[in-house]
Amino acid sequence: MTNDREQGFSRPKAVAPQGHLPTEVEYHRAFAGRKRHILRGLTVILLLFGGLIGFANLGLAGASFIDANMFGRSGFTPLAHAATSLALALLIPYSMLLQRVFYGLPAGSLHSVTGCFRFDMFGRSLLVIGPLVLIPMSLTSLFMPGDTITWSHVDVVAFFITGMILTPLAAAGEEYGFRGLMFRIVGSWTLAPLSGAILGIILTAGLFSLFHGTSDPYLLTSYLVLFSSLAVITWRTGGLEVAVVIHGVYNVSGLVLATALHVDIGGALAGRSEIVGVPANLLPGLVVGAIAILLVAATWKDGPLRIDRQR
């Protein structure tokens, strides 16, 4: 038996369920072994991106068909947003399936090194860290230029409902896909845990930032800082719970503020490559970066939370 001590949002060790789990390894090293299996990893990453694009296109096609034939509408509608969010949420079971098929690990091990979702850590993070993300997101909206559009009351209510229910699931799907599955894949390509963490942080943050389709220096920098910080947080806390909270609050607050301010969300999404950022865009990422630094400092002595499976 291990004697674990609470240390803020993390502990030095955690007991994982029986299964084909490595022992005494950090979250991103769950796939590490004598062989690096780079070709296998690249295949899984391609399947991950293929699933992301495929689910999104299928969802949008279905939403567009219903909007056009039943409501006579087109463009970015509440139904289109709901379909996209559900498509991203599907990355959670899809990533677990890919992990199970290609690496033989239990689905639950993707949550954290404990093999399950740590609701206590999730709740504490929501109460403590959630407001720290909400405030800079709100302040950033004051400085963001953008076209406005007139939303009907029905649309505003529909966006609010889908935003509060489905947007957090969509954010979680992205975390399970990139800070979960992909971080573990890339993190297993090196011989040492630290170099694996660094490589995983750089590649996952870089690819996910570029996937957002902007070359604006302010926006691209904000994404790089945000996503690299989320990877660091996942590494140090030994799971995805805190990253899911931060990403969920980030996306939900952005959507709710955009609809409240009547921002043309559809136009902004369609023209991401043309959006011009402002210095205020850096604020949320800097706050999340500060949170990541604090977590590194808090876990510096004992290191990241590790898997400790009882024999």
Q: How many domains does the chain have?
A: 1
Q: Which residues of 169-202 are buried (b: 16+ CB within 10 A; e: fewer)?
A: bbbbbbbbbbbbbbbbbbbbbbeebeebbbbbbe
Tell me, what's the pLDDT at 145? 65
Q: Is residue 10 part of a domain?
A: no
Tell me, what's the pLDDT at 292? 97
Tell me, what's the pLDDT at 189? 95
Q: Is residue 283 part of a domain?
A: yes
Residue with tokens 């463009």: 75
Tell me, what's the pLDDT at 1? 41
Give pTM, 2 decimals. Answer: 0.89
Burial of 273 (0-12, 13-18, 19+ CB in 10 A): exposed
Q: Is residue 218 part of a domain?
A: yes
pLDDT band of 262, cuts 50, 70, 90: confident
Instruction: Characterise 147 by phi-psi region: left (phi > 0), alpha (psi -120 to 50), beta (else).
Output: beta
Q: Is residue 3 part of a domain?
A: no
Q: Is residue 74 part of a domain?
A: yes
Q: Residue 89 CB: number of other CB atoms within 10 A?
A: 21
Boundaries of domain holding 141:
15-307
Per the CB < 8 A criterion, the answer to whether 29 and 193 are in contact is: yes
Q: Is residue 263 part of a domain?
A: yes
pLDDT band of 7, cuts 50, 70, 90: very low
**pLDDT for 80-104, tens place per residue?**
999 999 999 999 999 999 999 999 9
- For CA atoms 186, 188, 190, 195, the dihedral sign is positive
**pLDDT for 9-18, tens place per residue?**
444 444 444 4
Tell me, what's the pLDDT at 4? 43
Q: Is residue 97 part of a domain?
A: yes
Q: Is residue 19 part of a domain?
A: yes
- For CA atoms 64, 71, 271, 203, the dihedral sign is negative
